[in-house]
Amino acid sequence: LIYLHVCLGTEGLYVPWLHGSCVVVVRAGMLTNRLARYRTTPRVYVGCMKSGPVLSQKGVKYHEPESWKFGDEGNKYFRHATGQIYAISRDLASYISINQ
């Protein structure tokens, strides 16, 4: 909810947001160029995508307690969005705010 207020209260077309204790390196020029591609697209969400091994071993960071759902040991996650860093357009923030 705070994020929506920030998006709606800024001059920018997009507002990036960082989550958690992750260290994320953002190259401002590259981010600006990447977001420029979506200027003509309404209601944009841009986020980190990841895939990789399902961590079934207890005690390791990012242990997946329901790893059995992903099949045999050694299987990988499908490519999916994560929340370490993302940006949404002002149009999307407005849409979410109106339709919560």
Query: Does the pLDDT at position 1 exceed 60?
Result: no
As a dihedral over the C-alpha atoms of residue 89, residue 31, residue 21, residue 67, rounded to 10 degrees, the angle is 80
Cβ–Cβ < 8 Å for 16, 31:
yes
Q: pLDDT above 70 covers what percent of the chain?
A: 72
Q: Tokens 């490519």 appear where?
A: 79
Q: Please, are residues 14 and 46 in contact by the beta-carbon 8 Å criterion?
A: yes
pLDDT digits (tens, 9 = 90+) for 3-14: 555 556 665 555
- Asked whether the beta carbons of 85 and 26 are under 8 A apart, the reply is yes
pLDDT tens-digit series, residues 60-91: 888 888 888 887 777 888 887 777 777 778 78
Which pLDDT tens digit goes with each residue over 8-47? 666 555 566 666 655 556 677 887 788 788 888 888 887 7
